[in-house]
Amino acid sequence: MNRAVLSAALIGLLSLPASGAEKVYKHDQFPEDIATAAQQISGIPLATQPGFAQNEAFGQLYTPDPADYPVRITAIEMFLAGPPEMASGGEANAMIEIWPHDAGSAEPNSAEPLYSASTADLYNPQTGDFGMPLVGNSAFVIQFDWQTEDHPPEITEGAFSIIVRYTDAPQDLSDEWGTYQCTQVPEFGLCGCQQVGTIHDQATTSDANIFHIIYPPGNCSGSPSAWLFIEDIGVTGDLIMRARAEVASCTPDCEGRECGDNGCGGSCGLCEVGYHCDDGHCVPDTGCTNDDDCEDGYHCDDGQCVPDCVPDCDGKDCGDDGCGGSCGDCQAGYYCADGSCTECTCDGKECGNDGCGHSCGLCSAGYHCEDGQCVEDCDPDCTGKDCGDDGCGGSCGTCNTGYHCEHGECVEDCVPDCAGKDCGPDGCGGTCGSCDTNETCEDGVCVLVIPAPHIYGISPDFGYEDSATDVSITGNSFQSAAAVRLGATTLKAIRVESSQLITATVPPDMAAGSYMLIVTNPDGQTDSLDDAFEVRIREPDSRGCGCSSGAPGQAWLLLVGLGIALALRERR
């Protein structure tokens, strides 16, 4: 089985090539750094709608800005919740999928994903082996190495989604039905166990969070199924899921700055304790005359920079402290409502969730869930919009030629520019052409790539110090007039028979020992093979007959075919 050699880690650091700008596509409220976000996630509601049946899935939809293309996804990051563990443990394997999408639709615009990889096939740098199942209450990072062939394709247009699809079939669940993490309610389409769930932040981004679940309700066979936005089935909050990417739209600029924004959403550096960033420079915290002297999140009070926000948990047992922190967590079977722990219930609700991530039911086609009740779709809304979707499948208008619709406004199209270019980007997400396989694109021009020589072996791989030895060297990419040496000694009678074969003569009188073989092409590219040839001292014939079974220096014939060399010495 071919396994995706991807690096997965509970908390990982991401290293990007210098050729593009870094951008994080996300919809949650937490910092872009996943390690920092993981530290701040406390008291956030758990929602485990997807995954009750094998092959159900959840994910998020992202729409790059036109100037971002091409987009190279360099990492997928997420934070997963862990309900009370089952007897089989709090982890599960899944498929990580990337789908092409049209913005505003939960349904992908392709029958197959652009890319998929199983967590069972991920390379785990912590264990040095394959296999990285999803683990509850953990940040999860998958990094793609764009220096290898195993990575998602480059995205040059349209929206895309990141989907997590659970693949582990439930084990023996006879003792688990009715517990917090296992449900068997066929009339609602629920029948399975969710060992790893999703963490939500406090707000919901419309048309961004996606479920792929059994639908309509009442069928637990896994078919039929449907792609839905989570707000359509009563689940609130954004999934903690990000796509970290290299994009073409921005070049960080930190010239003359030691702190603050780099112009691309990143940082030019952090100030030491006791200092804050002011216009790109670290200045002492002590002393301020107005709020402009203080960094974001602080204001000037009596000559000192003080926090804008003071946590407040008076009368609260749980929930937000007003400053992004938590006033406490609720026990299993309860959820936080207005600072108090409230028992999970569906009383009076025909849809939505019970507050603990379980469903109170799904609405029929043509209806959606609002405040626990199924209400009929849909009131068109074109307020402040000149074009695009009206929210009910209709249109708020179309744009003139040369313009396209973005977020309800008509925006001028990008004009591709390929003047003087045979390859590379056209400035609008497209390309000016591609190069042959033996060429690379440099500044819009295809440049021939001349491969370096590569040595397979030498035959024979030994000779005697008192005589010359004819040898054959096999490999590839040998050029005419290539130089051949054993250590510091240049061989005699060198002939480049082809790009795969060189014949030459090892001169006599070389000192006994093992020598490195070195082939250097006229363009300076070289390759070597350690301990490739041994010069031996001929032992005297004890019989004194002067006879020998073979003449030293005899030429050997080396057969090479289809890249397979016979009697070759292995590289060491």
3-state secondary structure 231-288: HHHCCCCCECEEEEEEECCCCCCCCCCCCCECCCCCECCCCCCCEEEECCEEEECECC
Q: What is the mean pLDDT of residues 491-510?
A: 94
Measured between alpha carbons, how far is 459 from 555 in angstroms, rounded to an integer?
9
Are the CB atoms for 342 and 333 separated by under 8 Å?
Answer: no
Of 373, 346, 371, 368, the closest CA to residue 357 belongs to 346
Asked if pLDDT for residue 92 goes beyond 70, the answer is yes
**Mean pLDDT computed over every residue of the chain:** 79
Element (H, E) at 527: strand 526-536
Distances (CA, A) of 15 to 151, 158, 456, 552: 15, 26, 34, 56
Q: Are strands 526-536 and 462-464 parallel, antiparallel or unpaired?
A: parallel
Distances (CA, A) of 157 to 4, 102, 153, 427, 455: 25, 10, 12, 12, 43
Of 274, 206, 246, 257, the closest CA to residue 68 belongs to 246
Asked if pLDDT for residue 497 goes beyond 80, the answer is yes
Q: Between 161 and 308, whose confidence is greater?
A: 161
Asked if pLDDT for residue 493 goes beyond 60, the answer is yes
pLDDT-derived band at 526, boundaries 50, 70, 90:
very high
Are the CB atoms for 156 and 430 separated by under 8 Å?
Answer: yes
Asked if pLDDT for residue 424 goes beyond 60, the answer is yes
Q: Tokens in use for 504? A: 């030459």
**40 SS3 class:** helix
pLDDT tens digits, one per residue of 242-277:
999 998 766 677 888 888 877 765 678 878 767 778
Q: Are strands 182-185 and 190-193 parallel, antiparallel or unpaired?
A: antiparallel
Q: Are strands 7-9 and 21-25 parallel, antiparallel or unpaired?
A: unpaired
pLDDT tens digits, one per residue of 380-404:
889 999 999 888 778 899 998 888 8
Q: Are strands 469-476 and 462-464 parallel, antiparallel or unpaired?
A: unpaired
Q: What is the pTM of this model?
A: 0.43
Instruction: Provide the pLDDT for residue 180.
Output: 56
Asked if pLDDT for residue 544 goes beyond 50, the answer is no
User: How many beta carbons lie within 10 A of that of residue 212, not counting itself?
Assistant: 22
Q: What is the mean pLDDT of residues 534-547?
A: 69
pLDDT tens digits, one per residue of 451-471:
899 999 999 999 999 999 999
Q: What is the mean pLDDT of residues 551-564?
A: 38
Measured between alpha carbons, how far is 97 from 118 in angstroms, rounded to an integer?
9
pLDDT tens digits, one per residue of 5-62:
333 333 333 333 334 678 999 998 888 888 888 888 866 766 655 555 667 788 999 9
**What whole-number percentage of the chain has pLDDT above 90?**
27
Q: Between 346 and 554, whose confidence is greater?
A: 346
Q: What is the mean pLDDT of residues 305-331?
A: 80
Backbone phi and psi for residue 137, each to the nearest 5 degrees, phi listed first: 60, 35
Are the CB atoms for 468 and 506 separated by under 8 Å?
Answer: yes
pLDDT-derived band at 547, boundaries 50, 70, 90:
very low
Backbone phi and psi for residue 67, each to the nearest 5 degrees, phi listed first: -75, -10
Domains of the chain and any CATH numbers: 7-247 (no CATH), 378-414 (no CATH), 454-540+548-565 (2.60.40.10)
Q: What is the mean pLDDT of residues 317-330?
A: 81
User: How many beta carbons lie within 10 A of that of residue 311, not counting itself?
Assistant: 13
Of 336, 367, 338, 340, the closest CA to residue 351 belongs to 367
**What whole-number percentage of the chain has pLDDT above 70?**
78
User: How many beta carbons lie within 10 A of that of residue 162, not counting itself?
Assistant: 26
pLDDT tens digits, one per residue of 234-246:
778 888 999 999 9
